[in-house]
Structure 1
Amino acid sequence: MAKSPKATTSRRPTRKPRARSAAVPPSADIEDLAPSGVLAGPTSAAPALRSGLLRWYDAHRRDLPWRFPAAPGREGREKRAYAVWVSEVMLQQTRVPVVIDYYSRWMARWPTVETLAAATQEEVNEMWAGLGYYRRARFLLEGAKQIAEKGEFPSTASTLRQVRGIGDYTAGAIASIAFNEVTPLVDGNVVRVISRLFAIADNPKESSTVKRFWELAGQLVDPSRPGDFNQAMMELGATLCSKTKPDCSQCPVSSHCQALVLSHENPLIGVTDYPRVVPKAKPRSDFAAVCVVQIEQGLEQEMAAGKCNFFLLIKRPEEGLLAGLWEFPSVLVDECKTDPLNRRKEMDRYLKRLVDIDVEQKSNLVLREDVGQHVHVFSHIRLTMHVELMVLKIKGDMGQVCNKGRDSTKLKLVDESSIDSMGLTSGIRKVYNMVKAFKEKKLSEQTQMPTKKRNRRQKQ
């Protein structure tokens, strides 16, 4: 029986990219993995892809400060390795224009792994401030100390992985770029390029898929120029083969791209369907009471800024979120207890326990006011900070404030000029700027107050 025209025209093509990719054996050779009609021959396809990509990279690669030829000899290669290491760690989840400035300042201060090894964690954190993911900075320092102690920079991917904080990706980058080892690397850009070359629609976060990307990258890497090839793959993913607007017409390997072939065959399939977009887990919501404790010494009850103002900073635990970094007194509170009364009760208990400050009895409370809220989003946490300013007048030696704490090494008083130049996290810096703006507004209101009214208030 003939089909009705209506039934024929209403049917939409079925999109089945997963079936194609699932049929490819995960351990097959690179040429065997080539989808039909893309990598044309078992012996010529991979070399053609390599040469095309490298020609493009030689002509179009960006001029970046960490891309420089290594000087002859072991020392030159180790200097190159250190530069690659620092830049690749900084580039994780950070845009290149931002990293360039950080990298330049970092290398000017610590030009070798030995000079970095002599730094303190606090110095490193200050230099890193604003890049986020401070654990990476801690691992850089710990890894540098480990390398300096051994007296030699590891030169293979396997030995590099033994260094604190260096994983498969960074090890592959250093070994191939600095020491010319024929070893792959896989980052987000490489995942995007490979998933499109082979139309891999599997979940890119699953371990089996990640393993497959590494196998493919290992079979693709150019044996004569492994470092340049790996950089070319990353460069392609960062520029032409972008997430949402790939420039396939300018791509040097578009003739090898199975995703592009499928997009031509089926209007419901696009190159940007690869790799599959995996929805991010919704970050949990946390709430914190943050108290900027300003301590005055010998000042009147005015909001005028001066060199006699100090701020209390608390060092976070050495493990966990923002480990070892300095912040204003902060305590997590339940969402149902974010009102001013409950927040202040929690903060008072915290200050009493931590630094033995009793707001009502031992200190002269000059001012305590709510400043506002700041929402800071981490990768897995949405933190709402309820910020207040507390101004105290402490009689006697201010150093006793910290010495009374249970662990005075985790407390310090910092003056205004120092805190302006400190490497605070972006969230804490935002809190401090909120308080500065609040104080300036308060001071402006006081100076604009009529003289008689101001004098009357001062007499009270």
Structure 2
Amino acid sequence: MAKSPKCMVTTSRRPTRKLQAGSATRPSSADIEDLATPGVLAGPALAAAALRLGLLRWYDTHRRDLPWRFSATPGPEGREKRAYAVWVSEVMLQQTRVPVVVDYYSRWMARWPTVETLATATQEEVNEMWAGLGYYRRARFLLEGAKQIAEKGEFPSTASTLRQVRGIGDYTAGAIASIAFNEVTPLVDGNVVRVISRIFAIADNPKESSTVKKFWELAGQLVDPSRPGDFNQAMMELGATLCSKTKPGCSQCPVSSHCQALTLSHENPSIGVTDYPQVVPKAKPRRDFAAVCVVQIAQGLEQEMAAGKCNLFLLIKRPEEGLLAGLWEFPSVLVDESKTDSLNRRKEMDKYLKQLLDIDVKRESIVVLRKDIGQLVHIFSHIRLTMHVELMVLKIKGVVGQVCNKGQDSMKLKLVDESSIDSMGLTSGIRKVYNMVKAFKEKKLLDQSQIPTRKRSRRHE
């Protein structure tokens, strides 16, 4: 539990660095006593109290009405329900915008309203509900954490015990403990980093461990002892709205009188509030290339196949660890950038399908159609994946249902019909691939339907 804010005695200071010759300097580190700017308040404790009061008043008036912000009903059951709601919302909000999360959160809570109901779900059900949010490890950790909590029979109520749950780190533990259980404990996310770095004019690299530690220390000293959950939410709300990255609304900010970045910007035109926190360039994403083959097992007449009837699609389950773990996708194989031409891609795909299904495409099936559809670029946090997409329509010689049973691991293969694939929770990248193929087939069907019409019109001319 964080201690209540108090005046800290600083015996030494880290050196400041100059922005440019003759300009004002900005501090590279800060303490809570820096809140006590001359002529504003008598001391750091009073300054922190005034900041809390101003921020909480603003939050009470201006906070957004969000479905996970509700008062817990009295008693342990009410607090646990609140804790579960905070947990789900905070995990969803990581790397995702609020407007997107609202709909996902509402659907999730309608399906699994308590941690106990979530614990009974399968990973595949959770993945389907999560599809489109990205960063699928979050969904896996939510399910694993729910099973862990349900097994113990009690929702952890302190930040220290919450951190023992699978997938719950310092930030999420602080959010749940303070908001649901009123523990006086801080939290630090990107929004809080931005607010604190501007209040204290912290110019250090926000990604460095020493700077991160400083943010946690300051957040712990600032958190309101009587309303820790509301204060933490107010800090995040301020960072998400008024104290934005590029266009901060300093004139409406409830703590602008405490903001040293704003003070420095008034003193020196070369310094801007948006200089804080320091912008750290992102590493360039790795460039990967993949051959993706939408394998359609055709059954029935050619007209039925073209209309999308009696078609089955082959899906592969990804490994349980790594990128997009445990999710379903079309057959996909990574290729070197120098081998992304059609011939090399098809060689690699044929090899992969033979290994996967133990069938020889050329010998054990009739290739009705094999067509390059195009390419898509899908961006992950650290990978720029270029997918070269082809459609391969096969007629299997033998029993179609035996296709998946012949593979090395039939549990990782399945055939689904077109109506099922339309409603499946595919990842956004795979959904793009499917939509591209679907658009190609629709155009092909349209072109075929127009050929007889043109012939008949010539006869009547």
Q: What secondary structure, in the 3-state scheme, does the structure 2 residue paired with 1:442 have?
A: helix
- Whether 1:400 and 2:407 are equivalent positions in the alignment is no
Q: Tell me: CA distance 1:225–1:375, structure 2 relative to 1, closer, same or farther (3 Å).
A: same
Task: Please say if residues 319 and 325 of structure 2, whose CA atoms lie closer than 8 Å, have aligned partners that are also in contact.
Answer: yes
User: Residue type of the partner of 2:390?
Assistant: E
**1:448 Cα deviation after fit:** 1.5
- TM-score (structure 2 length as normaliser): 0.92
Q: Deviations over 1:428-449 (max 9, x none)?
A: 0000000000001111111112
Number of equivalenced pairs: 437
Residues of 1 paired with 2:397 and 2:41: CA distance?
A: 79
Gaps of 5+ in 2: 1-19, 457-461
Residue 423 of structure 1 corresponds to: 425
**1:226 is the counterpart of 2:233:** no
Moved more, 35-44 or 116-125: 35-44
Q: Judge conservation of contact 1:367–1:389 (CA < 8 Å) in 2.
A: yes
Q: Residue 223 of structure 1 aligns to which amino acid in structure 2? A: P
Distance 1:322 1:248 in 2: 41
Q: 2 CA distance for matches of 1:453 and 1:393?
A: 30
Q: How far apart are 1:42 and its partner, in Å?
A: 2.7
**Paired residue for 1:5?**
none
Distance 2:40 2:212 in 1: 22
CA contact (8 A) 1:39 1:256 kept: no
- Deviation of 1:453 after TM superposition, in Å, equals 8.0
Match of 1:147 among 146, 149, 153: 149
SS of the aligned residue for 2:384 comes to strand
2:115 is matched by which residue type in structure 1?
V
Does the 8 A contact of 1:21 with 1:198 survive in 2? no
Q: Given that residues 171 and 188 in structure 2 are in contact (C-alpha distance below 8 angstroms), is that contact kept between their aligned partners in structure 1? A: yes
Task: Report the counterpart of residue 45 of structure 1 in structure 2.
Answer: 47
How far 1:451 sits from its partner (Å)?
A: 7.1
Q: CA separation of 1:354/1:15 partners in 2, compared to 1, >3 Å: closer, same or farther?
A: farther
Contact 1:181 1:226 in 2 (8 A): yes
Structure 2 CA distance for partners of 1:256 and 1:323, relative to 1, 3 Å:
same
Structure-2 change in CA distance of 1:38 and 1:215 (3 Å): farther
Shift of 1:14: 3.5
CA shift at 1:300, angstroms?
2.6
Alpha-carbon distance in structure 2 between the residues aligned to 1:208 and 1:404: 55
1:354 counterpart residue number: 356
Provide the residue aligned with 1:444 in structure 2.
446
Residues 266 and 452 from structure 1, CA distance in 2 versus in 1: closer, same or farther, beyond 3 angstroms?
Answer: closer
CA deviation vs aligned residue, 1:226-276 (integer Å, no higher than 9, x gap): 000000000000000000000000000000000000000000000000000
Q: Is the 8 A contact 1:303 1:439 kept in 2?
A: no
Structure 2 matches for 1:51-450, cutoff 5 A? 51-300=53-302, 303-450=305-452
Distance 1:266 1:362 in 2: 76
Local SS of the residue matching 2:361:
coil
| Aligned-partner residue type, residue 427 of structure 1 | G
Structure 1 counterpart SS, 2:134: coil
Alignment of 1:21 with 2:25, yes or no, is no
Distance 1:337 1:446 in 2: 33
Q: Give the conservation status (yes or no) of the 8 Å contact 1:61–1:235.
A: yes
Q: State how far apart, in whole Å, the 1-side matches of 2:40 and 2:93 are.
A: 32
Name the stretch that deviates more: 283-292 or 352-361: 352-361
Deviation at residue 31 of structure 1 after TM alignment:
2.6
Q: Is the 8 A contact 2:197 2:276 kept in 1?
A: yes
How big is the shift at 1:15?
A: 6.0
After superposing the two structures, state which structure 1 stretch, 327-336 or 445-454, moved more: 445-454
Partner of residue 4, structure 2: none
Q: Give CA deviations for 1:372-413 in whole Å, capped at 9, x if unaligned.
A: 000000010000000000000124322210000000000000
CA contact (8 A) 1:192 1:275 kept: yes
Instruction: Report what 1:458 is aligned to.
Output: none
Counterparts in 2 of 1:77 and 1:365: CA distance versus 1, 3 Å? same
Aligned pair in 2 of structure 1 residues 407, 47: CA closer, same or farther (>3 Å)?
same
Matches of residues 3-18 of structure 1 in structure 2 within 5 Å?
13-14=22-23, 16-17=25-26
Q: CA deviation at 1:302?
A: 6.8
Letter paired with 2:120: A
- CA root-mean-square deviation: 1.7
Q: Distance in 2 between matches of 1:340 and 1:453?
A: 35
Equivalents in 2 of 1:379, 1:353: separation in Å?
30
Of 328-337 and 439-448, more deviation after overlay is shown by 439-448
Supply the AA of the counterpart residue of 1:157.
Answer: A
The CA deviation string for residues 269-307 of structure 1, in whole angstroms up to 9 with x for no partner, is 000000000000000100000000000123337752234
SS at match of 1:209: helix
> C-alpha distance in 2, partners of 1:43/1:392?
74
* SS at 1:435 equivalent: helix
- Alpha carbons of 1:35 and 1:294: their partners in 2 closer, same or farther (altered >3 Å)? farther
8 A Cα contact 2:144 2:166, kept in partner: yes
The residue type paired with residue 382 of structure 2 is: H
2:361 partner letter: V
In the aligned structure 2, how far is the partner of 1:282 from the partner of 1:44? 45
Task: Tell me the SS of whatever aligns to 1:44.
Answer: helix
For residue 99 of structure 1, what is the amino acid of its counterpart?
V
Match of 2:3 in 1: none
Offset at residue 308 of structure 1 (A): 1.1
Instruction: Return 5+ residue gaps in structure 1 as ranges.
Output: 1-10, 455-460
Segments of 4+ in structure 1 off by > 2 A? 11-17, 30-40, 298-303, 450-454
Deviates more, 1:168-177 or 1:440-449: 440-449
SS of equivalent residue, structure 1 residue 275:
coil
* Deviation at residue 93 of structure 1 after TM alignment: 1.0
Deviations 1:168-190 (CA, angstroms, capped at 9, x unpaired): 00000000000000000000000
Q: Please state whether the residue corresponding to 1:21 is helix, strand or coil.
A: coil
Query: Quick one: distance in 1 between partners of 2:282 and 2:302?
Result: 52
Amino acid at match of 2:289: F
Whether the 8 Å contact between 2:304 and 2:310 is mirrored in structure 1 is no
